[in-house]
Every structure is written in structure tokens, then in C-alpha cells.
Amino acid sequence: MKIQPTIPSLIDSRGGKSKTLFFITVAFVVVVGKFVLAGLSIPHLGTVPAMSADEFAGAIFGTMLPWVAREWKDKDICAAHGGPLAPKGGG
């Protein structure tokens, strides 16, 4: 029997499994960790390259963009079909 690998997922705000949210969370933690460690000298590894606030903001923007786009698309689809995320009172 061959075991199929599964992609980890997190539960999003609507209670569904989200593979995108898992990868966004991992990338966000890595970028924040890099920003915190920027400029520090770590024994046996050397100095961590510096990271400016502009570079940090760009990395966070690039990291969050796929998730925000997915949420926006889902909201538009639900609104078009009169789903639970549709605006109250006709807009």
C-alpha cells in the first residue's frame, strides 16, 4: 500500500481547512524571525545580514498577498451568490 503525502493545513476563520494559510503562517514566522535576528552575530555562524524596515515591509506584503487575495476572492464569490459574507441591506 502506497501512502500518499498530505499537505498540512490550518483551520481558517470560516472553519474550513486552508492549505494556503499554513504556508502563509510559516513564511510569516520565518520573515519575522529574520528581521529579529538581522544584524546579530551568532557564534559559529557569523553575522546575520541586515534587513531594513523597507525590506521587511516588502517581504511581509509579498507573504500576505496570496492569503489576502484568496480571502477577497472568496468574499466576492459568496457575495455574488448571496452567501453569508454578502453585505447586509443590499450593499
| pLDDT score for 3 | 74
Q: Are 5 and 16 in contact (CB under 8 A)?
A: no
Q: Virtual CA dihedral for 67, 57, 31, 6, nearest 10 degrees? A: 10
Which pLDDT tens digit goes with each residue over 4-53? 777 787 777 777 787 778 888 899 999 999 999 988 888 888 888 899 99
